[in-house]
Every structure is written in C-alpha cells, then in structure tokens.
C-alpha cells in the first residue's frame, strides 16, 4: 500500500515513523519560522503504520536537517526515519540515532545552572540512560527526562 497521501516533493526531507502525536514537536524542532521561501511543509498526523500502529509523518521541501536538529528529533521521536529526497527519489535513508552527548538542543531545567547564564558556552548533556532516555547536564548534573519541556 502506497502511503503518499500528500503531494510528492522534488527535493527535501521526509521524517517518517514519528511516534503518534509527536509531529508538532518535530515541527518545533525544525523551526518553521526559520524555513526559506521554497520550504513548504506537509504534515500527516495519525497515519496507519505497520510497525507502530499509528504514526506521524513530516515532509519538508527544499531543506536538509542539520545534525543538531536530527539529534533533537532522536530525543523526542526515537523511532523516526529520515529520508533525503532528491529529484522525487529517496536518495538516503537512516534511522535517527541518539549520540552520547547532546549539545545546544535543550535548555537545562535548573534556572541557576551556569549554562543558563550569559556565558560563551552551549548547553550540554550526557546521555546517562538509554531505556528510557535520561540526560544529565554536563555542568550542574541535573537529570532531565521530559525533553519536550526543555527544548532550547
């Protein structure tokens, strides 16, 4: 069964197999306001999926994701696959993969952490648990498991 419910894109990125209901968070990470004029976005929410039961899909035209954004997606949508489309065809496909360090993606939940002060550094977390994922601030050692609330 073909699942192309939305117009095919010529060049761009497809984020498929997003956990049901998380598409809007993925959009937040992509940063809709940062898109250039050619980058239209289509979203499918609550689509039938063999593997997941239900899933969301996000397709962004004319844009490839920075490694930082891929890391952020890996955090909140660990089941996602990212396909790069060139000339209507899937050229590259990979599952997202959580690195051992997450730099700049999240804000430390501790308001008095030095990483939340005006210092020339980026936030940084170590992945200290993977199942479920728990991050620990590389500065103040605060643990974070509710990533959605702390996206930078």
Partner 1 sequence: MSLHGRDITSIRDLSREEIEEILASARKMIPYAEGSKVVHPLAEKIVAMAFFEPSTRTRLSFEAAVHRLGGNCLTIADAGATSLRKGESLYDTIRMLSSYADAIVIRHPNEGSARLAARASDRPVINAGDGAGQHPTQTLLDLATLHEAFGTLTGLKVVLLGDLKYGRTVHSLAYALAEFGSELILSSPRGLALPEERREELKRVGGRVSEQPDIRKAVQEADALYVTRIQKERFVDESEYREVAGSYRIDASVLASAKPRLIVMHPLPRAGEIAPEVDQTPHAAYFRQAFLAVPVRMALLASVLGSSRRGG
Binding site residues, partner 1, CB under 8 A: 108, 110, 112-115, 117-121, 137-143
Q: Which does residue 83 bind out of partner 1, ligand ATP, Zn ion, none, counting CB within 5 to 8 angstroms by kind?
A: ligand ATP
Of residues 73 through 132, those in contact with ligand ATP by CB under 6 A are 81, 83, 85, 88, 90, 93
Q: Is residue 9 within the footprint of ligand ATP (CB under 6 A)?
A: yes
Q: How many CB atoms lie within 10 A of CB 7?
A: 10
101-103 vs 89-95, strand pairing mode:
unpaired
Query: Taking a C-beta distance cutoff of 8 angstroms, is the pair 13, 63 a contact?
Result: yes
Cα-to-chain-centroid distance, residue 38: 21
Q: Is residue 1 within the footprint of ligand ATP (CB under 6 A)?
A: no
φ, ψ of residue 101 in degrees (nearest 5): -130, 140
What is the contact surface with ligand ATP in residues (CB under 6 A)? Answer: 3-4, 8-9, 14, 16, 57, 59, 81, 83, 85, 88, 90, 93
């Amino acid at each position: 069964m073909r699942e192309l419910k939305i117009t095919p894109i010529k060049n761009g990125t497809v984020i498929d197999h997003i956990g049901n209901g998380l598409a809007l968070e993925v959009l937040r990470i992509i940063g809709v306001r940062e898109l250039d004029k050619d980058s239209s976005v289509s979203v499918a929410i609550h689509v039938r999926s063999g593997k997941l039961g239900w899933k969301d899909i996000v397709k962004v035209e004319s844009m490839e994701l920075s490694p930082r954004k891929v890391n952020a997606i890996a955090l909140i949508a660990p089941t996602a696959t990212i396909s790069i489309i060139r000339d209507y065809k899937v050229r590259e496909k990979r599952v997202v993969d959580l690195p051992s360090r997450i730099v700049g993606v999240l804000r430390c939940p501790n308001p008095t952490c030095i990483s939340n002060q005006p210092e020339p550094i980026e936030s940084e977390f170590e992945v200290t648990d993977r199942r479920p994922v728990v991050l620990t601030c590389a500065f103040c050692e605060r643990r974070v498991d509710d990533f959605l609330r702390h996206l930078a």
